[in-house]
Amino acid sequence: MLAYIEAMFGDFLKRLIQPDPAPLTSTDSRLALAALLVRVARSDGHYAPEEAERIDRILAKRYALSPVEVTVLRRDAETLEAEAPDTVRFTRAIKEAVPYEDRESVVEALWGVVLADGRRDHEEDAQLRLVANLLGVTDRDSNLARQRIENTLK
């Protein structure tokens, strides 16, 4: 079973980082975007339970998933994130395969993960700025997304 899972993620990553990737299927898109949420959450070296819970809420709401489906998706995303290439290649591949408005909403979700533990960490901020830029989301749109999330947390 483990070999099958590793092969599945390996094939997915190969398709994702090709020079001209095909648009992602809805299932692959979910997985890639969930892996980005995990990558940002892990960027400060501490993957807090609040961050995992926030990722679960984001995925459940965004994709109308049951608690079991969310848990499976997040665990798959955690595995994928650990195997994914560097952030630059990973996010550039997603940028090529995902429309701007979807990438913008992902940046908003990423801010939700960064702020889930109640504090802004320098490493997470830096990682999110890099990811937003690599996804092609403007600084202005990223800042507006952060402000929307901060307002919901007050």
**Is residue 93 in a domain?**
yes
Report the predicted TM-score, pTM, of the whole model to 2 decimal places: 0.78
For the ranges 41-45, 60-64, 131-135, the lowest mean pLDDT is seen at 41-45
**Is residue 29 in a domain?**
yes
| CATH assignment at residue 93 | 1.10.3680.10
> pLDDT, tens digit, for every residue of 53-105?
999 999 999 889 999 999 999 999 998 888 776 777 678 767 877 788 888 88
**Whether residue 142 has pLDDT greater than 90:** yes
**What is the identity of the amino acid at 36?**
L
Alpha-carbon span 40 to 124, nearest angstrom:
6
R_g of the chain computed on alpha carbons: 15
**Is residue 30 in a domain?**
yes
- Around Cβ 75, how many Cβ atoms within 10 Å? 13
Alpha-carbon span 65 to 56, nearest angstrom:
9
**Is residue 54 in a domain?**
yes
Instruction: Judge contact between 63 and 55, C-beta under 8 A.
Output: no
Mean pLDDT (the chain) is 81
**pLDDT value, residue 144:** 93
**Is residue 11 in a domain?**
no
**pLDDT value, residue 2:** 40
**Is residue 57 in a domain?**
yes
Instruction: Judge contact between 69 and 147, C-beta under 8 A.
Output: no
101-117 exposure pattern, b = at least 16 Cβ within 10 A, e = fewer: eebbbbbbbbbbbbbbb
Look up the domain containing 92 and give its range.
25-153
| 49-63 and 67-83 helices, crossing angle to 10° | 120
- Which are the contacts of 127, defined by CB distance < 8 A and separation ≥ 6? 39, 40, 43, 44, 87
**pLDDT value, residue 32:** 81
Alpha-carbon span 100 to 2, nearest angstrom:
34
**Is residue 7 in a domain?**
no
Instruction: Judge contact between 104 and 94, C-beta under 8 A.
Output: no
The total number of structural domains that make up the chain: 1
**Is residue 142 in a domain?**
yes
**pLDDT value, residue 87:** 79
